[in-house]
């Protein structure tokens, strides 16, 4: 399954560089997003490197999920596709 990186997880004063909000393809409800919790995620950089992570929790009511990566992603990754396995 594929997904699109929407944004970093942010609050009023801080930004988590390795927590990202992702919109999975074909998921439009909170119930659908809950089924993805625990799955592995891979983002491939333009240079060919892979950064791995996992789906930690659902985010909101419209099918978004929160993904925690092993290290931070660059800002250019917003809008990129990821692979949810």
Tell me the pLDDT tens digit for each residue of 46-77.
999 999 999 999 999 999 999 999 999 999 99
User: Burial of 18 by CB count in 10 Å (0-12 exposed, 13-18 middle, 19+ buried)?
Assistant: middle
Domains in the chain, start-ordered, CATH in brackets?
2-84 (2.40.10.190)
The tens digit of pLDDT for each residue in 9-34 reads 999 999 988 999 999 999 999 999 99
Q: What is residue 31's predicted lDDT score, i.e. its pLDDT? A: 96
The neighbour count for residue 73, using CB atoms within 10 Å, is 21
Q: What is residue 60's predicted lDDT score, i.e. its pLDDT? A: 94
pTM check: above 0.75:
yes
Share of the chain above pLDDT 90, in %: 95
The neighbour count for residue 36, using CB atoms within 10 Å, is 21
Q: What is residue 16's predicted lDDT score, i.e. its pLDDT? A: 87
User: Burial of 82 by CB count in 10 Å (0-12 exposed, 13-18 middle, 19+ buried)?
Assistant: buried
């Amino acid at each position: 399954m594929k997904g699109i990186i929407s944004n970093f997880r942010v609050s009023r004063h801080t930004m988590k560089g390795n927590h990202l909000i992702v919109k999975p393809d074909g998921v439009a409800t909170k119930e659908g997003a809950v089924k993805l919790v625990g799955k592995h995620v891979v983002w491939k950089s333009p240079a060919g490197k892979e950064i791995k992570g996992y789906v930690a929790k659902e985010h909101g009511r419209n099918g978004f999920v929160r993904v925690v990566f092993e290290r931070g992603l660059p800002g250019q990754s917003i809008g990129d596709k990821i692979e949810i396995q």
